[in-house]
Amino acid sequence: MADKVVKSVVGLPDGNVIITYADNSTQKKSALNASTEIASAKLGGSYQNNPGAFGTSQATGSGTNNPAVAPTTSVTPENYAAYYQQALSSKSDGYVKIRKALIDAGQLGKGVKSPASVQGTWATVLQGASADGLDPYTYLANLKKQGAGLDIAATQKQNPYALITEWDPTKTKDYITQLSTSLLNREPTPEELTSLQSKLSDAQKKNELLTTYKTDPKTGKVTAHQVGGLDEQQFITDLIKKNPDYSKVKEAGTTAALQSVQDAAKANGIVLTPQDAASYAERVRNGEKIDNITSTFRKIAAISQPKAVQELLNTGTDLATIYQPYKAAMATTLELNPNDIQLTDPALSGAISGDKTMTTYEFQRALRKDNRWQYTNNARSEAANVATQVLKDFGFMG
């Protein structure tokens, strides 16, 4: 592998190119002007082993042609920049050959002669060939077969170009199965699969894609305008949504999402209106994680809480968890159902104020001042015991 590896190529208006490369020996990235640096063999190792790639008899990099090295036509990130410069700098046949190949493939207008335009188009072809692992001329031949980029002169008999895309049975089955599993929480039955496959095939045949090509006579740039075609995902989705099971799954999902939102709100002392609850539930149904919504509830709850509670909320702890020990003590002392105690209860929120945090014993003592204490069995028992002791002290009871 060469020490200097080409990362990108940018064509300049004057016909030269700027090549960005990484030096493996120094782990640094640099940029150079191809017209001067390649000639002085700064990137020789990146391309000198490709002498016959464009029909030239000798490479333009450092060193001389090495007959022991077999010519290669593969285009890789390490050599496409050198291919680019080598071919365009070969006055004997490189520029002429490339320009002709681009015109023949419909990638360049016949009247275009500017080196900068030829270089820019050729760079695009080289990158496409590199991605496909092909020789650039083979890549151009494939583009020509596909009708991509054809100009007006080359497409008078097939402009607009109509294309019908019909999937093979395996692809159709896999696609329908995937969508059915996502929307219905189950795979399609054999009967459903057959029906959907047939309807998709018919729709694809009736919705051909029309492509109209136009070439700018001044720049040679080819543009394509497409109409028609079929959005297979939306088409199959719409059909599956007509299945009665979809309504059941959607309703169950909405109920589950609504319950999760309400639980998260309750755990942080947030009272939601029906409209707000439905809005949050819809967000969950659309893919948003309930954790994100719970985090929002914690931030809202933190606004009215003392610093110590805010810090715990910021760590991802729900308000209900923070006050759980006090809630249990409150339920015991005031003889209440724990589930009936709201996090907004003034007595509960008084357990932590400012920098002061009560112990559970201190909290239970404070609860005796709560109006609800006098109605508890413990309060009545304690009052009866006091009355008995008073009678004994005055000698009315033995």
Q: Tell me: the pLDDT tens digits for 132-156?
A: 667 778 888 887 776 655 444 444 4
Q: Domain count for the chain, please give it.
A: 3
- Which pLDDT band, with edges at 50, 70 and 90, does 388 fall under? low
- Distance (Å, rounded) from C-alpha 347 to C-alpha 330? 8
Percent pLDDT > 90 in the chain is 25
Of 242, 259, 285, at which residue does a domain stop? 242
Q: Verify that 133 and 206 share a domain, yes or no.
A: no
Q: Verify that 8 and 142 share a domain, yes or no.
A: yes
- Distance (Å, rounded) from C-alpha 220 to C-alpha 387? 108
12-21, 117-126, 129-138: least confident range: 12-21
Is residue 221 included in any domain, yes or no? yes
Give the pLDDT of residue 325.
93
Is residue 312 included in any domain, yes or no? yes
- Which pLDDT band, with edges at 50, 70 and 90, does 17 fall under? low
- Which pLDDT band, with edges at 50, 70 and 90, does 277 fall under? very high
Q: Verify that 342 and 288 share a domain, yes or no.
A: yes
User: 322: which 2 tokens?
Assistant: 């923070």
Give the pLDDT of residue 241.
92
CA angle 212, 218, 221 (to 5 degrees): 40
Q: Verify that 79 and 173 share a domain, yes or no.
A: no
b/e burial code for range 150-181 (CB count within 10 A of at least 16 → b): bbeebbeeeebbeeeeeeeeeebbebbeebbe
Query: Could you tell me the pTM of the whole model?
Result: 0.43
Q: Verify that 268 and 335 share a domain, yes or no.
A: yes
The helix or strand, by DSSP H or E, that contains position 6, with its residue range, turns out to be strand 4-11
Is residue 32 included in any domain, yes or no? yes
Domain of 17 in residue numbering reads as 4-146
Is residue 388 included in any domain, yes or no? no
Instruction: Specify the amino acid at residue 179.
Output: L
Using CA atoms in the order 112, 113, 118, 120, what is the torsion angle rounded to 10 degrees? -70
Counting Cβ atoms within 10 Å, is residue 268 exposed (0-12), middle (13-18) or buried (19+)? buried
